[in-house]
Amino acid sequence: MAEIRLEKLTKHFDEVRAVDGLDLVAEHGSFIALLGPSGCGKTTTMNMIAGLERPTAGEIYFDDFPVSGLGPEKRSVGFVFQNYAIFTHMTVYENLAFGLRMRKPRPPKDEIDREVRAVARTVGLSEQLERRVTRLSVNDLQKAALGRSMIVRPAIFLLDEPFSNLDASFRAYMRAELKRIQHEIGQTMVYVTHDQVEAMGMADRIAVMDRGQLQQYGTPDELYNRPENRFVANFIGSVLNNFLPVVPEASGAGVVVRVTGTGSKPIDVSDRKVPLAERAGAGLPLTLMVRPEKVRLVGPDADEALVRGSITAIEPLGATDVIHLRLDGADIRSVARPDAPLRVGDNVGIAFEAADVHLFDDETEHAIR
């Protein structure tokens, strides 16, 4: 168990700033996800924590102990790679035992055997121990990779997109398994992924990264309900999020926004610090974001309808349907129950609560709260 602290961690590859001044703390025994699109610097960050890459600047602390000078073999980290990195010339047993056999002094045989069997039980490979690795399924390969990293009881567990090659149902199963294993062994885990569903489902806290910089670090709930900027707002959420251009205007003592060019009713955002004084006169626009699951469809003439639109497509996902809507000048999406009486071409009224609306400054892309 260890706390990981990154301070101004930076890595440049020639001119490219892969990681740029990253500050992050992963507490003892917590499950952290590094989330971001490919090329955002998450794997580089992971490699630096493991010691496989040397930082250009900044420092990494394990429990207040700076580790930049330590080689990867001395850091007591477990690393699970995206492509398993299983040793194909060995059996499953030998793969699991590898880390222990590398210890100096080497532990006694019966102790290694006990550990290997215990880990095999934990990851569910007891039946396959004597098999050659080349005969394993992709799913079992990943289990073996997980077990091999686990057996040395690393202080820190690093997983680099470990499930991205697995089929969807097994991935869901492994997500739950990993969460159980993490709970069982209680180690600090850092999990790299570009899949926000994985991150949201497993991690205690998520660090969203883009272009080498930390965008937001928080619990899944914080990221979903209080995104700090437009990038995070867009990246989190299972259905493509709705972004609409709006214009703020004064309304009595408060402030309202209207969706540009749609003749929408005003949405009261008096509780936000909308910079009205500078903006309203010039009519400078902002961006409004509302999650599809917060968008309700009502009758076209209902009082609560803020704008009108028509249904362009219905995407059934089983438990819910995703409704694609066209407004004047914008496309948005809504989530509806499959039994809702909706058809492509229907004219509908679109409603959402002011509290579910997120506003972003178009220039800085920061949230306006």
Partner 1 sequence: MTTMPQEERVRFTADASTSRWVVARPWVKVVAVVMIASFFAFPLYWVVSMSFKPRPEWNPPGKVYWAPQSPTIDNYTNLLGLKSTEDSVFATQRSASALTPFKNSIILSVGGTLLALFAGIVTAYGIARFRAGGGLLPFQILQLRMFPPVAIIIPLLFFYVAIKLYDTYWGVIILYGAITFPFVVWLMRSFFQDVPREISEAAIVDGCTQWGAFFKAVLPQVKGGLAATGLFVFILNWSDFLIAKVMTTDVHSTAPVYLQSLQGGASGNEYGLQAALACLLILPPAIFGLAIQRYLVRGLTFGAIKR
Q: List interacting residues with partner 1 (CB under 8 A).
A: 50-52, 71-73, 75, 77-79, 81-83, 85, 87-90, 98-99, 102-103, 134, 145, 148-149, 152
Output 145 or 203, the one with its CB closest to partner 1.
145
Output 83 or 312, the one with its CB closest to partner 1.
83
**Are 369 and 269 in contact, with CB atoms under 8 Å apart?**
no
Output 93 or 231, the one with its CB closest to partner 1.
93
Least separation in angstroms between CB 303 and partner 1: 60
Least separation in angstroms between CB 38 and partner 1: 17
The answer for 282, left when phi > 0, alpha when psi is -120 to 50, beta otherwise, is: alpha
Q: Both tokens of residue 367?
A: 């949230």
Least separation in angstroms between CB 89 and partner 1: 4
Least separation in angstroms between CB 81 and partner 1: 4
Least separation in angstroms between CB 312 and partner 1: 44
Output 164 or 234, the one with its CB closest to partner 1.
164
Q: Both tokens of residue 271?
A: 């509780």
Closest CA to 340 of 278, 287, 297: 297
Cα gap 31→167, rounded to integer Å: 23
**Are 229 and 360 in contact, with CB atoms under 8 Å apart?**
yes
Least separation in angstroms between CB 104 and partner 1: 8
Q: Both tokens of residue 226?
A: 């209080």
Output 119 or 274, the one with its CB closest to partner 1.
119
**Are 248 and 269 in contact, with CB atoms under 8 Å apart?**
yes
Output 76 or 310, the one with its CB closest to partner 1.
76
Residue 76 C-beta-side C-alpha neighbours within 13 Å: 14
Output 70 or 276, the one with its CB closest to partner 1.
70
Output 189 or 305, the one with its CB closest to partner 1.
189
Cα gap 256→251, rounded to integer Å: 6
Least separation in angstroms between CB 83 and partner 1: 6
Instruction: Name, in order, each residue with C-beta under 8 angstroms of 289's C-beta and a sequence gap of 6 or more.
Output: 227, 230, 233, 234, 241, 242, 243, 244, 357, 358, 359, 360
Query: How many of the other CB atoms lie within 10 Å of CB of 366?
Result: 12
DSSP letters spanning 286-321: EEEEE-GGG-EEE-TT-TT--EEEEEEEEEE-SS-E
Least separation in angstroms between CB 108 and partner 1: 17
Torsion of CA 199, 243, 212, 275, to 10 degrees: -120
